[in-house]
Chain A
């Protein structure tokens, strides 16, 4: 019986330690997250681990729906990488952060700008500029560029707010609860056999 009370004490002690740990530790995650958005004719892909630390030097691969590799790049120190839009189609972006950490992000066709038209527009606008300083096309282009610049921080903050800050207390306590619940189930059935 002394042993049993000892076990009880140990169980309580360790549960307390676990709960204390989960309170006091800043919660870190071991999850990889990839986000991508369009800026001008580039895709900006940002990779991070669940705790917000950037995924440095991670390989970014851009595939189309058929799984063909269209473009490849590596993230910089801030986990950011810029890729020219290879094609206007539904894109699948994959990031390989090493050691089996992989994340995916889909960019649908509707989010991508017209890239082929842009070149054409640029050439026509140049011609027009020569006799009309503010052609409609040129204006459009300038406005779009400025908007992109202005909107970048907003886009980023939206992306950041979408990013969960990793597992919270609820999940941790919940998980420990599940484990002890399972322990109860296991003891119940083991005892039942005898």
Chain B
């Protein structure tokens, strides 16, 4: 999500920045050597995903891919999102630099929640169950991001319910699309690189 420059009030910007900084610190601290390429790949995917525009709904919306990013990365999703959003902000003028903290938090925190949710799957479960969990992780992350954007905007002068309705309804297509994408990606991971799922299972 890209909240523009000068929309949010100072406390929201500071709060978002602070929480994001904590998240990035945790992510970097927990990052092992072998996580680095994975984090970079996911970051690149997040960076490009925003260019894929979903031409349904009233405003301009695009893919987020934060659900699948969360599943693959865990806490490393914070640095990955930060880098992707920072580069989008300076190269594409998507979203404001000052809103970077809030935007990072809005994307990365739901990703972590999706990660935790995805853990209800363990290797003994069926593939159907795996697909279902993947779908809901992807969908959940986008839904929560929409809610968090609404919460961030709540602190400006508009009424919360109105914004929440607008952001969530306009994200319904993305929620469904991301759910489906998550299923495909998780099945691909299961085939190409099952070690990611095995590691998740261990943790």
Contact = CB atoms under 8 A, between A and B. Distances in A.
Interface of A: 3, 6-7, 10-11, 14-15, 18, 21-22, 25, 27-32, 49-51, 53, 55-57, 97-104, 166-167, 171-172, 174-176, 178-180, 182-183, 186-187, 190-191
Across the A-B interface, give the 7 residue pairs with the lowest CB-CB distance, nearest first. A183-B40, A100-B3, A28-B53, A49-B60, A167-B92, A171-B91, A175-B87
B92 A166 contact: yes
Nearest to A183: B40
B36 A178 contact: no
A179 B87 contact: yes
Q: How large is the interface on B (under 10, 10 to 19, 20 to 34, 35 or more residues)?
A: 35 or more
A98 B7 contact: no
11 contacts: A14-B45, A25-B52, A28-B51, A29-B92, A31-B93, A172-B51, A175-B87, A175-B88, A179-B40, A182-B83, A186-B39
Given A99-B163, A101-B59, A14 B53 contact: no
Given A99-B153, A171-B92, A183 B45 contact: no
* Most B CB within 10 A of own CB, among A11, A56, A99, A172: A99
A172 B48 contact: yes
A30 B37 contact: no
Contact of A30 (B62, B87, B149, B195): B62
B170 interface: yes
Contact of A99 (B39, B44, B87, B149): B149
A124 to B, nearest CB: 44
A175 B6 contact: no
B13 interface: no
A97 to B, nearest CB: 7
B33 A28 contact: no
A179 B5 CA distance: 24
Contacts of B45: 14, 18
Given A7-B37, A29-B92, A30-B94, A100 B51 contact: no
B12 to A, nearest CB: 11
B92 A31 contact: yes
B2 A30 contact: yes
A73 B58 CA distance: 19
B48 A176 contact: yes
B43 A179 contact: yes
A99 B91 contact: no
B153 A182 contact: no
Interface string B44-76: 110110111100001110100000000000000
A166 B51 CA distance: 10
Contact of A179 (B31, B58, B83): B83
Contact of B170 (A6, A57, A99): A99
